[in-house]
């Protein structure tokens, strides 16, 4: 059972993938839309992405420019997610947050800050090897959340 103090918005994790789009559709079918919604897109700097992928520094790249591009792309994705959530009947606001500690940790921190009543996330069909190597955000959310989490399976386009 969730804590009654979690009376904030529904927090949608949205990365533009089919899994996150499916989560919006499913939540629209299952959950009362009287609560406000926040559509969260988490982004990481190029340095963080390289570090998490096992890369080393010292590349001759324009990190500031690439980071600005990443943030701009994340903002666009969050706005798309908020539009889609609105189409499914939610009063949705986009939110973009930079992560330095991992995407799942950032989502959980934002959920705590917002006192989110529910975290909604889709799954990505990465396969067992990729999941073992890269981890699974949805698995980490389910394992570490202190509030209710709705995780929807990935659906292929045209199957719903």
112 φψ region: left (φ > 0), alpha (ψ -120 to 50), beta (else): alpha
Domain boundaries in the chain? 10-152
Q: What confidence tens digit (pLDDT) does each residue in 30-70 have?
A: 988 888 999 999 998 877 777 766 665 555 567 788 889 99
Strands 91-98 and 118-122: unpaired
Q: Measure the CA–CA gap between 76 and 66, rounded to whole angstroms.
A: 15
Q: How confident is the model at residue 13 (pLDDT cuts 50, 70, 90)?
A: very high
- Which of 115, 109, 113, 107 is closest to 137 using CA atoms? 107
Confidence check: pLDDT of 7 > 70: yes
Confidence check: pLDDT of 117 > 90: yes
Q: How confident is the model at residue 125 (pLDDT cuts 50, 70, 90)?
A: low
Tell me which architecture the domain covering 10-152 has in CATH. Answer: 3-Layer(aba) Sandwich (3.40)
Q: Measure the CA–CA gap between 20 and 22, rounded to whole angstroms.
A: 5
Q: What pTM was computed for the model?
A: 0.82
């Amino acid at each position: 059972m969730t804590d009654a103090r979690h009376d904030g918005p529904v927090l949608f994790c949205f990365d533009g993938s089919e899994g996150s789009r499916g989560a919006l559709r499913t939540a629209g079918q299952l959950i009362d839309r009287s609560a406000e919604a926040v559509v969260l897109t988490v982004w990481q700097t190029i340095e963080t992405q390289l570090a998490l992928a096992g890369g080393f520094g010292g590349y001759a790249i324009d990190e500031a420019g690439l980071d600005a591009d990443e943030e701009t792309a994340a903002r666009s994705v969050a706005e798309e997610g908020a539009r889609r959530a609105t189409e499914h009947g939610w009063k949705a606001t986009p939110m973009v947050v930079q992560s330095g500690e991992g995407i799942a940790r950032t989502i959980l921190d934002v959920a705590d800050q917002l006192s989110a009543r529910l975290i909604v996330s889709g799954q990505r069909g990465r396969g067992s090897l990729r999941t073992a190597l890269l981890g699974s955000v949805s698995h980490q959310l389910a394992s570490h959340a202190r509030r209710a989490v709705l995780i929807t399976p990935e659906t292929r386009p045209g199957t719903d």
